[in-house]
Amino acid sequence: MAHRWKNTLNRSDITPIEHYMNRRQLMAGLAAGVGLVGLGSSVRAQPALEPNSFEDITSYNNYYEFGTGKDDPAKNAHRLTTSPWTVQIDGLVDRPGDYAFADIMDAMTIEERIYRFRCVEAWSMVIPWNGFELADLLEMAGVQPGAKYVAFETALRPDEMPGVRFPVLDWPYVEGLRLDEAMNPLTIMATGIYGKDIPNQNGAPLRLVVPWKYGFKSIKSIVRITLTEEEPPTSWNKANPREYGFYSNVNPEVDHPRWSQASERAVGGGLFARRIDTLMFNGYEEEVAGLYKGMDLKANF
């Protein structure tokens, strides 16, 4: 499939430094006279702007439809047929229907972006996603005034997905966002990595990326998007409601019941396999904190 990505990733395409450190950390670092790269002891190092290697990003994955091991998706996901692909968009929309992935790609303005991506397992990567704003896709279908949530569903293909024989999750994998979260410009549908078609193990041909939420929110290989009035079910919440809530924001103040979420391990650190402080909303506090104003984030975890 012909994509229109400009394959010219440069510094200005990269998420600004403010997204990687909160202002206080930035000022503390500057006041202490250390360079941005070398923020020292009191403020632990934040990830460099360098994205992870394509190899890291495509060989250490979670995609349980292809097995629960981190290397299973890379081994098994080639079995997924991703072309042709259609996304059913229904529920509270003006133009419900089956949208061919090829037509979606033709209609969207493809932009290059880099998002930090962190997971509840307490590891993180910097991934240079290609994609488009989810808001543009939803506007294409015409969101009706009564819609309050967006529900997502992954393909369920027992013939192609060896992992769905096992009831580790209630298949198909489903996720959801509140409409305002879905319409935020940081919420993207990713269709590429490093300017190439997104590999199957990363959720081909299109998957959600919500950079201020834990990884499991970022549902892969989406076949259905439904605008709803009620909060939709989500796979991990169904599997273990005590451990996984609907919101799943990155929040270092709310630990997972079985592990701390105050820090994370940056995957592929090479020389520096380091743990880094986890930032509120993954460093996107300025952009998204307003979405949760007045909410108790400990109750709505």
Interface residues with ligand MTE (CB under 6 A) are 61-65, 119, 154, 173, 202, 215-216, 218-221
| Cα dist from 34 to 16, 25, 65, whole Å | 19, 12, 46
Shortest Cβ 65–ligand MTE spacing (Å): 6
- Nearest CB to ligand MTE, comparing residues 104 and 174: 174
Give yes or no for residue 215 binding Mo ion (CB under 5 A): yes
Q: Residue 240 CB, nearest distance to Mo ion (Å)?
A: 12
Residue pair 105/1 in contact (Cβ under 8 Å)? The answer is yes
C-beta closer to Mo ion: residue 258 or 293: 258
**Least separation in angstroms between CB 160 and ligand MTE:** 13
Query: Do residues 153 and 224 touch, judged by C-beta distance below 8 A?
Result: yes
b/e per residue 162-188 (b: at least 16 CB within 10 A): bbbeeeebebbbbbbbbbebbbbebbb
Binder of residue 138, out of Mo ion, ligand MTE, none (CB less than 5 to 8 A by kind): none
Could you say which of 14, 21, 77, 119 contacts Mo ion (CB under 5 A)? Answer: 119
Joined tokens for residue 58: 């495509």
Residue 184 interaction partner, one of ligand MTE, Mo ion, none, beta carbon < 5-8 Å per kind:
none
Instruction: Report helix, strand or coil for 129.
Output: strand
Residue placing its CB nearer to ligand MTE in the complex, 99 or 117:
117
Q: Which is nearer to ligand MTE, 21 or 223 (CB)?
A: 223
d(CA 250, CA 281): 5
Which residues share a beta bridge with 193?
129, 196
Decide which of ligand MTE, Mo ion, none touches 61; Cβ closer than 5 to 8 Å per partner kind: ligand MTE
Decide whether 39 or 225 has the Cβ nearer to ligand MTE: 225
DSSP state of 154: E
Q: Nearest residue to ligand MTE, using CB?
A: 215
Say how many C-beta atoms besides its own lie within 10 A of residue 4's C-beta: 10
Q: Which residue has the tokens 């997972």?
A: 256
Residues that bind Mo ion (CB under 5 A): 62, 119, 215-216
